A and B are shown apart, each in its own frame.
Chain A
């Protein structure tokens, strides 16, 4: 299972990077979103996988031993929400960028440097 998910994570990172290297600014943002997905998944997978035992206390004996690790889940939740905030900002930035510069071509960013 680990190998499969590792491959998946690799593909997601790869796609994200590829999108980031495009000229279209929208693909850039898409790449950022993908990077976020890949990373969330990485956090989840790298810290060990437990099937079928969500981290809820149900008054059962010895349940904590088999329970999935809640910490990475909490971290991912935090990362997701942060990602949402930053991505939302990036989206508005792209919107403003287009309305001010009139282009979505990133190569046109090169002027003036």
Chain B
């Protein structure tokens, strides 16, 4: 029974990661890919960790697994935030179907820091 539960957890976690990876390939702009990575991947990891804890029911394993989960939740969004923010500053091309950009509005109102320069368009990412 336990073997089955663990196996399902493991497989579903891996599938989540796979979906995230597919998302990274398929999704249309950097923000959406970030979504896929921060969430699906983290969730996958969490599921797999659950499998480990169930299979090795020791305190130390549980604590370590919990630490992984906590730290993923604590750090992954920060990293994503930093990258998303700078992507917005860089005016990384966005995909279709955007319905609003209130962040840009705030920047235009000078409420937010959003460094803009004339060369924005000219930045050749490869040469940076």
Indicate yes or no for A touching B, C-beta below 8 A: no
Residues of A within 8 A of B (CB): none
Residues of B within 8 A of A (CB): none
